[in-house]
Each structure stands twice: as structure tokens, then as C-alpha cells.
A = this chain, B = another copy of it.
Amino acid sequence: MSTSWQNVQDEALRRIHSREWPPGAQIPNEADLARELGCARATVNRALRALAQAGWLERRRRAGTRVAVAPLRQAQLAIPIIRHEIEARGQTYSHGLLTRRTGPMPPQVCASLGVPQDVPAQEVRTLHLADGRTYALEHRWVYLAAVPGFADANLEEISPNEWLVLNAPFDHGTFDYSAVAADAEMSTHLECPAGTPVMMLERRTFGPTTPVTHVRLAYAPGFRLHLSI
């Protein structure tokens, strides 16, 4: 077998770890490396490209490739579908629809999604349960122009979260987690005293062309957001 791009990647990582290629240093160019390692330049390119994507290297045309000083890595972000999140813990998922109404979004939400005021929208409040116990309280605004079918969706069978993931896959979005004190509504639904620290997620998602939805999720006390690199 000849040298695979994985081998090249491993060798490069070894040199980075061993400080043979210290942080900030420029590494040999693709052609030289290919010659040294006995493979084609395309193979080296593939390996170095992967390392750059993983954050170990920084590459610029003509300027060459150097070892990243402060690697910016990518973390796997846990699952878009809350049902899966819960089932992955071996618990049984269920959900309850609290309120649902059509009307204009509050100005703050409009601004956050970048849509004009008075666009048709729907507000939904949902409770996510794990083994019958509250897991998260969801407050969602859906931009109906982006997902017309949502207005007629049966949200008893399938949660708005899951309906949207299946019917309006998103292109990009932002996630903002913060720690807040439970307000009266959270206190009621999450079964904790008012003021209890609660993890709050504010999420905006966008389709290829338009905004889709704005969600605030309050997780029950004890929730942990787990990421790994």
C-alpha cells in the first residue's frame, strides 16, 4: 500500500505535537512534502486541507501553510430534535401543547430575525417531557411565509421542534445559551421555585433564503449542555 492522506495527516499531526513544527511556524510546501513522503501533491493537499479545517493549520495562497497558534476547533453540537436528545438518555419522550395562536411577532423577535413587523407569524408554547417529567419549556415564533404548511400542522402528534426539522431543514442559525433565574411561568412548568438557576437557549434558524423561526427554550434544572471536540 502507498501513503494515504490519513498517513500524511498523522505524520503532520505528529510533527505538530512533537513541536518539530512549533506553533506559528511555516511548514514545507505541498510539493516538497509530497516528495519527502513519497506521494502525490494532491494527497498532501487533501491531508493539509483536512488539518486546516480541523483548526491545526492556517493556509493562505502564496503565503504557505503555518501551524495555528490558537487553534479554533469545531465542536459537535448536540441534536436538533429534543425527542432524540431525550431518547438517547434512555427516557421516554412526550410533549404537550400549551398555547398556539396566530398573530404579529413582538418587535424584539422581528428584529432578531430581521423581518419587518406585522408579518404573518404563529406563536407556540410547548412542554417537552422526559419520562413524564418536564424537560424543557419552549416558546417559539414561526415565520409563516417561510413555512406555510406550519399553520395547518397537527402539533399534537409531533412537536413543533420536530415538525420544523423535518419540513424546513435549516441552512444556518445562531444559538445563545445563558443562565437565568426562573420566572413565574418557568417556575410553574419546570416545577422549581422562582429564582432557580435555569439554562436558557435562544435560537434563531434561517432557511436558504428567509428566516424560519425564533425559539426560547428553558431547560429544567440540572440540564447540562455537553459538547466534545
- Bound: A172/B72 CA distance, A: 12
A208-229: CB near B (< 8 Å → 1, else 0) gives 1000000000010111111111
Known: A70-B165, A77-B74. A179 touches B199 (CB 8 A): yes
A68-100: CB near B (< 8 Å → 1, else 0) gives 011111111111110010000000000000000
A195-B198 in contact (CB<8A): no
- A64 contacts partner chain B, Cβ-Cβ < 8 Å: no
Known: A227-B77, A229-B173. A179 touches B198 (CB 8 A): yes
- Copies of this chain, complex-wide, total 2
- Bound: A69/B179 CA distance, A: 31
Partner of A75, one of B77, B165, B180: B77
Question: A133 → chain B, closest Cβ, in Å?
Answer: 18
A159-180: CB near B (< 8 Å → 1, else 0) gives 0000001100111111111111
A227-B80 in contact (CB<8A): no
- A13 contacts partner chain B, Cβ-Cβ < 8 Å: yes
Known: A166-B23, A197-B197, A229-B172. A224 touches B177 (CB 8 A): yes
- A17 contacts partner chain B, Cβ-Cβ < 8 Å: yes
Partner of A80, one of B73, B171, B198, B219: B73
B72-A175 in contact (CB<8A): no
B77-A176 in contact (CB<8A): no
B73-A79 in contact (CB<8A): yes
- A110 contacts partner chain B, Cβ-Cβ < 8 Å: no
- A207 contacts partner chain B, Cβ-Cβ < 8 Å: yes
Which positions in A face B, CB cutoff 8 Å? 13, 16-17, 23, 56, 69-81, 84, 165-166, 169-181, 195-200, 207-208, 219, 221-229
Sorted nearest first, the 7 A-B pairs with minimum C-beta distance are A197-B197, A179-B179, A75-B77, A179-B197, A177-B225, A175-B227, A179-B199
